[in-house]
Amino acid sequence: MDHPITRRELGGLAVASAALAAGDLPRRPLGKTGAQVSWLGIGSAPMGDADAAQQEVDRIVAAAIDEGINYFDTAPIYEQAEVRLGRALKGKRQKVFLVTKVETTTRQDAQWQVRDSLRRLETDYLDAVHIHNVGRTDRFPSLEVLLGPDGALEGLKELKKKGIIRHIGMTCHLRPKRALPVLETGAIELVMCAANFVDVHTYNFEGTVFEAARDRGLGIVAMKVLGGAVGNGASQHGKLTPDHYTQAMRYALGIPGLSVAIVGMRRMSDLKAALDAVRAYKPFTPAEWTELRRQGQLMAREWGELRGPVA
């Protein structure tokens, strides 16, 4: 799980951490997209739960934007999240980089999904759309079809030409090597993968997909940085405890080339905790890094293939 950070990068992180401590929320480039995104992004999956309240979503979104957060992630599969996020962003749409996903193989179905998302989000364009979890063989049994002339990627490329979406991305939760042929198409501009100090010992997206993304100058987005939801239901959660919160955030923010770390939010207290952790960020000392690696290896043995198969 070695982060190959150079002295120059460490110096830049030290300057940035000083700025964070002073109250600023700095931004990083999202690869070659031209967008500058906040270190911390909002994950909307918890906002879609049946018992989540629109009023609280409105408060989180407004406060996040006031704090300088501009990256918002959602998906059709997150129950009511797109609807609630769309309502919360009324009058604020131009201030954010809004990302959703498609979860289907064919060109036509992908375009239908995007248009449904536009309706639910109450917007006429999307800053990025991800092909959602290319590691799933049940969702995408054939990469040849997905990436072919009648596949979902071609559908997104057509929508990009029309200006309906601005950038195309990809997410991956399992089977890291399955993401590499998708990157090799040259159409992907940002990638989002599960990245925390435990899963790195099992899935190692950092040393596979993220490394390939850095080589191509793509935007790199970390999800599941606190463990996150696993399985098919948002009620199932990863196993990082509150005691690991700060270490997990420090780990994610130190990933080389990282653009933004996504944290799922449902309550104002979630936003405050994430902001506090980001503003307290500082790179690990060698001794801290050694200890985090030890902890991560031990926990990885307990977790196993928590998110599904590696190969």
Name residues whose C-beta falls within 8 Å of residue 135's C-beta, 6 or more positions apart in sequence: 172, 173, 174, 175, 176, 178, 179, 308
Name residues whose C-beta falls within 8 Å of residue 230's C-beta, 6 or more positions apart in sequence: 236, 237, 238, 306, 307
Q: Which residues are catalytic?
A: 78
Nearest Cα to Cα of residue 163 among 126, 110, 113, 218: 126
Name the amino acid, one letter, at 121. L
In sequence order, what E strands does the chain have? Answer: 27-29, 36-38, 40-43, 71-73, 97-102, 128-131, 168-172, 190-194, 219-223, 258-264
Nearest Cα to Cα of residue 193 among 180, 181, 210, 216: 210
Report the distance separating Cα 174 and Cα 305, nearest Å.
9
